[in-house]
Amino acid sequence: MERIKKATVTGITTAALLAGSVGVSMAVVDSSPSKTVTARDSGRDERPALTARATKRGVAAWQQFRVYGSARQLPPGTRVRLQQRQGGQWTTLPASMNTTRKATYKMRVYLGFKGRNTLRIVGGGMASAPFTVTVR
């Protein structure tokens, strides 16, 4: 592209000198688009994120409650699973579902371990922030 610009400028200048014209005016237009920086390009962290909340903070043993949240920037249909902190390790419970087209989920949960239960949602290589539900 630069070679064509130089050849064009040289050709026009040579023609003007041969024709004997005193004033030559020309404009060289750069046809390549300029890059604009938007808010999206500004280095903002665009990692996928999972959120999780429980509908109740305290429940009776084996009483149903729901865990819901969003799976921001994960593809629809991503499998999310419920995990519980047991003895310092995260254990996957038999509660899972796929996210909706709007990247949300809402699952029914029953817990039998009495006391304070620390839970989180995992899926798509991400994990939500832990939250607690007390079972009485």
pLDDT tens digits, 78-112: 999 999 999 999 999 999 999 999 999 999 999 99
The 10 Å Cβ neighbour count of residue 99 is 21
State residue 38's pLDDT score: 46
Is the four-CA dihedral 32, 37, 40, 43 of positive or negative sign?
positive
Q: Helices in the chain by DSSP H: which ranges?
A: 2-19
Average pLDDT in the chain: 79
**Predicted confidence (pLDDT) at residue 52 exceeds the cutoff of 80:** yes
Where in the chain are the domains? Answer: 2-30, 49-135
CB 50 within 8 A of CB 127: yes
Fold of 49-135: Immunoglobulin-like (2.60.40)
3-state secondary structure of 135: strand
State residue 73's pLDDT score: 80
The alpha-carbon radius of gyration of the chain (Å, integer) is 31
Q: Tell the burial category of 109 from Cβ atoms under 10 Å away from its Cβ (0-12, 13-18, 19+).
A: buried
126 vs 39, residue with greater confidence: 126
> In angstroms, how far apart are the furthest CA atoms of the chain?
100
Q: Tell the burial category of 101 from Cβ atoms under 10 Å away from its Cβ (0-12, 13-18, 19+).
A: exposed
The 10 Å Cβ neighbour count of residue 50 is 24
| Closest by Cα among 121, 47, 108 to 82 | 121
